[in-house]
Each structure stands twice: as C-alpha cells, then as structure tokens.
Amino acid sequence: MPTREAVVIGGNRIPFARANGRYALASNQDMLTATLDGLVARFGLQGERLGEVVAGAVLKHSQDFNLTRESVLGSALAPTTPAYDIQQACGTSLESVILVANKIAVGQADSGIAAGVDTVSDAPIAVSEGLRTALLAANRARNLPARLKALASIRPSYLAPATPSNSELRTGLSMGEHQAVTTREWAITRQQQDELAAASHQNLAAAYERGFFDDLVTPFLGLTRDNNLRPDSTVERLAELKPVYGRGESEPTMTAGNSTPLTDGAAAVLLGTREWAAERRLPILARFVDAETAAVDYVHGDRKADGLLMAPVYAVPRLLARNGLTLQDFDFYEIHEAFAATVLATLAAWQDPDFSRDRLGLAAPLGGIDRSRLNVTGSSLATGHPFAATGARIVATLAKLLHDKGSGRGLISICAAGGQGVVAIIEAA
Amino acid sequence: MSQPEPESAPRSVALSMAKGVVRSLPLARVRSGRAALSPDLVLRTGPQAIDQARLAAYQRVCGARVSDVLPPGYLHVLGFPLAMARMTQADFPFPLLGLVHVVNRTSQHRQLTLADRPRLAVHAANLRPHRSGQQVDIITEARLDDALVWTETSTYLCRGRREERRNFPQEPPNSPQDPPNSPQERHGVGIRFQVPADVGRRYAAVSGDRNPIHLSAMSARLFGFRRAIAHGMWLQARLLSCFEGRLPDQFVVECEFRKPVPLPGDVRLIETRPALRPSSRFFELQGSRDGRTLVTGRLEDRSLSAEAPIGQA
C-alpha cells in the first residue's frame, strides 16, 4: 500500500509541576484543554476541524472516560474534531503520536494532535472494594430486607478510601523497587546514576536559558518552567542523598535525585501531511519514520533480562533491523529517564554480547552510543514525568532539535508500566 | 506603576457588611430612597494581583476550567469589596440587605489572565423606579494601564414596602435587552445542569458575597424567600461555562434574573439565535420540571463587530 509522510509540525506543553504543588487544583481536563488551546494559538488553528485528537491519561477518573473529546469540545478547535482516549502507561502519548502518524500515512487523516496528560495531585479516589461490593449488592437487592442485609455487611474499615498506587498489580512492587532489582543485576553504580541525573538538570537548564523551549511551552497557573528543575544540580550534591529504593540490599544506589518525581502536566504534538502544513503556512520540523513496541515477562521472567522497564531494549533492535539502521546511525537519542538507572541498564544491555546473542538473537551487540547525543535538552529526571505526557514532550523536543540542526535522525525510547516499551524514529524534514 | 496590591482583604467586606446590616435595620430604612445619589463618587483600587488559589476555587465553583484565563465574573468578585463600600456610603439610598440583583451586563473588551494586574473603579448611577420598587446601577470598570478592558453594570432592586412580600414581577418594565421580535432559531438541544444545594455558601466563600438570602433557608426566610436562592453572579458564571471554547475574546453577556432560582435546583439552558444577527445568541434558563423562565440573557460576540467597546471612556 502506498503511504504518505506524516510530519511533526510543532508541539506545546505546559510546564511540568511537582505533585501537590502549583497544579494541585487542576484536573486532567483543565491541563489538557489549556495545552490544546496553547497549541491552537501557536499554529492559528482556531475553529479548525482536525482529522482527530488522540490523547490519554494514566490516572483517570471514571467520569473522564471521554477526556480527550471533552477537552476538544472545551478548546478553540472546531467542535467537529473527533477524539478518542488511549492509555499505555508512560508510553501513552508516544503511542498516540504513532496512531495519528499511521492514520496520516495511510490516508485516513490529513492532520491530528497526539497528546497526553496526568495529574497525581488530582488523583481519582475510589471507595474500598468491600464498600463497592456491598453497595452493588444492595443495588441488586429486590426488597428492603435484602437491601438492609447487603448494607449491614459494610464494616467501618470499608470506609477508608482506595487511592491509586504506582505498584505493579501482579508483583506488588513499586516501579522503583522493580528498577532496583534491574539496577543491581546490571551493576549500575550510584556514581553513573548521579552523573546522568546531574546532566539532565544541567542540559534542561541550558536549553531554557537559550530559549529553546520558548515555542514549545506555554505558561500555566503561574509556572513558566518545570519546577522540578534544579539548574545547580551537581554529582556532589546528588551524592549526599539517601537511597530510597532497594534499601534491603547491601549497597542501594537509587535516590530521590536519580529517580523521577511524581509530576502533573500535559503535552501535545501537531502532526499532518506536508500539504496540510504547507496550505496553512505551518512549519515542518521533522518526519515520523517508524515505531515499534515490545513487552517483557517481568513477573516470571529473568531477573536481569526481563526487568519491568527493559522492554525498549527489545523494541529498538527490531526497529533498527526493519529500517536497515544501526544504533550508531542517530544524531539524537531520547531515552526516557524513568530512573537514571533505567537509561544506563538499557545502554548496558545493548553492549552486552551474551545478552545480545541469547535474548536479542544478534551475532554482535548493538554497541554503545555517543553519550553527548543523549537527552541533550534534559529529560524526565529534570522536567518531571507526568506519565502520559512524556511521549509528546519528547517528540516535540526531538523534532525541534532535528529542525534546528537541519538534518539527522533521532531515536525515542520509552519504558512503561506493565513491562512494555514504545520506541520510534523521527528524521529532520 | 505602583506595586500590585493583594486582593482586597475580607475584613473590608466584613466591615461593609456590618455597616450594611446596621443600615438595613427597620429604623434606618426610613431614609430609603430619599437621598440624592452621587454618580461622581468613584471608589478605586490600585493594580490588583490575582491570587491563583482563589481564582481556581472560583473557577471550580462556577464550572469553569481551572486555567490562566480570568472568567469575566471574576472581576466582579475583585470589585465586590468596592461595590459593597459604595453601597454603604451615606448617599446610597437603599439598605444593603435584601437588595435583589435583577440585571447584570458584562462587557469584556480583552481577555484577562492570571498575569494581569487590573485596576478597578466602582460608582453608582441611574437611580430609577422599578415596578416593584426602585433600582440602581452599580458600575464597575477594570483597566490595564489606561485601557478599559472590562465593564459591568449590575442593577439592584430595592423592593418597595408595599411589595415587600411579593415575588419578582413577571416582566420587569425596563428590561433593556428583551429578545427582539426578529425570527429566533432554536439552537442546540438545551443544557441541563444541577444547581447544588450548597452552592450559595460555596460561592459566598469564593466571592465574599455573604448575602443571607443565598446562605440557608433560615437566613433567606428573613427576607421573604422560602429557600435560599442562587447568587445571580454564580448563575451568570455557570451559564457562561456552558459556552466553554465558544467565547470570543471580546463579548457582552447580559443576564436578567427574572425569578429567584431556589437551592437546590434542576435547570436547563435553552439557546436561540436571531436569524438576522449571527453574532448574537439569546439564552433562557428554565426550571427543568416546570419550565418556568428563571433567567433570560444575551451573548454578543464583539470580536466580529466594528462597534467600539461599550462604556469606552
């Protein structure tokens, strides 16, 4: 089937805010609507009917089942713009970029917005399972005695609310505890992690200083920059922090400084065909090339090779093979910093001959990368990580980096809860 | 430019309220309607910094998105302490308590955001008769530097003594913007929403408008209402939130509060457009069950028209 090129026209996000801070009173819909409206304002899309808007949130109230469509209706886009919600944990908005780009490629849409939003501060709180069961039984009851009997089963302890947790449902371990196992198995040191974390903060601060984000970020509720950013972050200061994950181990290495904090925020990317962009005199920053997803058996699999956040390690070689590329054929690498150790374990795996042979089926490892091309304007350790917003943040950032350079190719790698990974390639247009 | 002031302290509202209560007592009310109202008496603030937490609370109560954009009614809230002060000056002819907000007309000439530092000015004018008593306009203006960015005329009714126990009139005689007789086309399916039982207290908390008629059935009864009634300004803000994403930067919204909206309530918004004036939308808020007309209003898009902003000084 002949396909068309999907191009990245631009992006917009609100500054990311540490949880229970500046955006404590804002809902997912508030943040997504503001982000869409910022994108609309930046590219003059008021009243425009787009092919579709695809977005999602990881932490979502049940009433927000139509979050994206509701946000479109409240935005300045034409109300005739269709929308739908998706959810793939931290891979959500990279997946939404893939979906929009694919529809454009096969001719089912000429334009679209891919986005994501998350709030930890305005998290949904549910009733306990015991109370929920009792209320549903009472609702099913056909007469008063049966209803009273159902309600009588309610115990005081049922009244405690059920708050969402970031533990994996099948293992009961938090993402940090999972990563702590992977970190040790791959022998990632504290020093390496703190160096990566410091670089993330320094790179993000430098990018803000030179105005790189001026056309990527719209202020929101008084924030103009990500408030997790610590421009003065250094390896020495990070070394002072106490470990927070893997504390049962002899030498735990993961701290609050080299792990991503809980964050609120939203990000969006505008995609279209070259013709659609040209008709509206819009810029073309980059073209979407290809994407791949992978998953690992983090529950029963190998402690080293099947870590919860290791799925991108498997997705990237498949993506490279399909596109006839090597790992060294990239000018920029955007590897999501769920934890500094996630990035380092990913890079270590690609250089490990045994792992590459046994698990990736490669005669030779993918090899190392030029670290000066990694997360050059900072990543999630510095910006923070509103789960579903991270992919769109990265795509817009990378597209602008490629556009500024005028040539080249970038690789995106995002790990996600549930042992999944979403990776993609974009090139300067 | 002088330093922005924090939003007005609640104390000043409380003082005005206290003064208003004293002047609302039966003995003080004898002077009602006799003083000469001075339209030249203008109360002003310096540049007002916007408190984001309070703005967010207002946006939540009124069904607006929590965002950087100031809903037009938020400027009413910012100007409210001045309005209260103006309504308790010696020349103001009516007792404060029991005044009924009958018409509100808001013109937004520019969209304001959290970062703006508007200056507010309030004066009273147009004392005139109403079928049920007398009415007066409280006019609030907001400026950024010297540019007029927002104007509001709030018309309050002081019911005459004979009519004190009667309800609102069916048709106030001088409603300035009755829908014209040009053909009207019904638009949309109607928007049904609930008026929560506690919205009077919640709006009072964010606006500072603690008029007892809004707070509880017991306090409302003192002023002849069987139940607490919704604030007019809450209704206007809630109605505007139905137009989320459809409001231009420049517009005029006018609400005529025809009947009190008792709490709690179940209402629906019906929208019509005159066939010949696409920039206008008329709306009517009805009781969902009885279909009674509670509020009528008009929303005029001024971003398309060449007309100068209303009230341009």
As a whole number of angstroms, the distance between CA B87 and CA B68 comes to 31
Catalytic residue among A90, A178, A336, A403: A90
**Measured between CB atoms, which of A25, A77, A220 is closest to B68?**
A220
| CATH number, domain containing residue A420 | 3.40.47.10
- The predicted-structure confidence for A350-369, as pLDDT tens digits, reads as follows 999 999 999 999 999 999 99
Query: Mean pLDDT across the stretch A30-40?
Result: 98
Q: What percent of chain A has pLDDT over 90?
A: 87
Q: Which domain holds residue A401?
A: 175-211+289-428
Q: How many CB atoms lie within 10 A of CB B29?
A: 16
pLDDT at B161: 63
As a whole number of angstroms, the distance between CA B13 and CA B86 comes to 11
CB contacts < 8 Å between A and B, how many?
43
Please report whether residue A350 resides in a domain. yes
Q: Between chains, do A26 and B56 touch, taking CB under 8 Å as contact?
A: yes
Q: Between chains, do A76 and B65 touch, taking CB under 8 Å as contact?
A: no
SS3 B117: coil
β-pairing verdict for A286-295 and A6-13: antiparallel
Residue B265 burial (CB < 10 Å; 0-12/13-18/19+)?
buried
As a whole number of angstroms, the distance between CA A104 and CA A182 comes to 38
The CA angle A73-A75-A80, to the nearest 5 degrees, is 45
pLDDT at B312: 38
Q: How many CB atoms lie within 10 A of CB B12?
A: 14
From the list A229, A266, A264, the residue with the least C-alpha distance to A20 is A264
How far B166 CA lies from chain A's nearest CA (Å)? 41
- Choose from B60, B68, B247 for mutation: most chain A CBs within 10 A: B68
Q: Which residue has the tokens 């998706």?
A: A86
Contacts of B68 in chain A (CB under 8 A): 34, 219-222
Annotated catalytic residue A90: yes
Q: Is there a contact between A373 and A219 (Cβ–Cβ < 8 Å)?
A: no
Q: In this structure, which CATH number among 1.10.8.420, 3.10.129.10, 3.40.50.410, 3.90.1150.10 belongs to the domain B10-162+179-301? A: 3.10.129.10
Please report whether residue A325 resides in a domain. yes
Please report whether residue A179 resides in a domain. yes
B2-6: list long-range contacts, CB under 8 Å, 24+ apart: B2/B46, B2/B47, B3/B46, B3/B47, B4/B46, B4/B47, B4/B48, B4/B49, B4/B117, B5/B45, B5/B46, B5/B47, B5/B48, B5/B49, B6/B48, B6/B49, B6/B51
Q: Which residue has the tokens 């709690």?
A: B264
Q: State the alpha helices, DSSP H only, in A60-117.
A: 67-73, 92-105
How far B252 CA lies from chain A's nearest CA (Å)? 19
Number of domains into which chain A is organized: 1
Annotated catalytic residue A415: yes
Q: What percent of chain A has pLDDT over 70?
A: 100
Q: Between chains, do B245 and A222 touch, taking CB under 8 Å as contact?
A: no
Tell me: pLDDT of B203 over 90. Answer: yes
Query: Which token pair is A316?
Result: 């990237």
β-pairing verdict for A263-272 and A6-13: antiparallel
Please report whether residue A141 resides in a domain. no
Tell me: pLDDT of B226 over 50. Answer: yes
Instruction: Note the ipTM here.
Output: 0.85
Q: State the alpha helices, DSSP H only, in chain B.
A: 10-24, 52-61, 72-86, 199-207, 217-221, 232-241
Q: Which residue has the tokens 């005459």?
A: B160
Q: How many CB atoms lie within 10 A of CB B87?
A: 22
Tell me: pLDDT of A21 over 60. Answer: yes
Q: How many CB atoms lie within 10 A of CB B115?
A: 12
- The predicted-structure confidence for A39-80, as pLDDT tens digits, reads as follows 999 999 999 999 999 999 999 998 999 999 999 999 999 999
Tell me: pLDDT of A206 over 80. Answer: yes
How far B57 CA lies from chain A's nearest CA (Å)? 8
Chain B positions touching chain A (beta carbons under 8 Å): 52-53, 56-57, 60, 65-68, 114-115, 244-245
Q: Between chains, do A222 and B114 touch, taking CB under 8 Å as contact?
A: yes
Q: Between chains, do B60 and A220 touch, taking CB under 8 Å as contact?
A: no
pLDDT at A173: 93
pLDDT at B4: 56
- Domains of chain B by residue range: 10-162+179-301
Q: Name the closest residue on chain A to residue B243, using Cα atoms.
A: A74
Q: Is there a contact between A39 and B79 (Cβ–Cβ < 8 Å)?
A: no
How far B84 CA lies from chain A's nearest CA (Å)? 29
Q: How many CB atoms lie within 10 A of CB A175?
A: 23
From the list A200, A238, A244, A262, the residue with the least C-alpha distance to A389 is A262
**Measured between CB atoms, which of B66, B114, B245 is closest to A73?**
B245
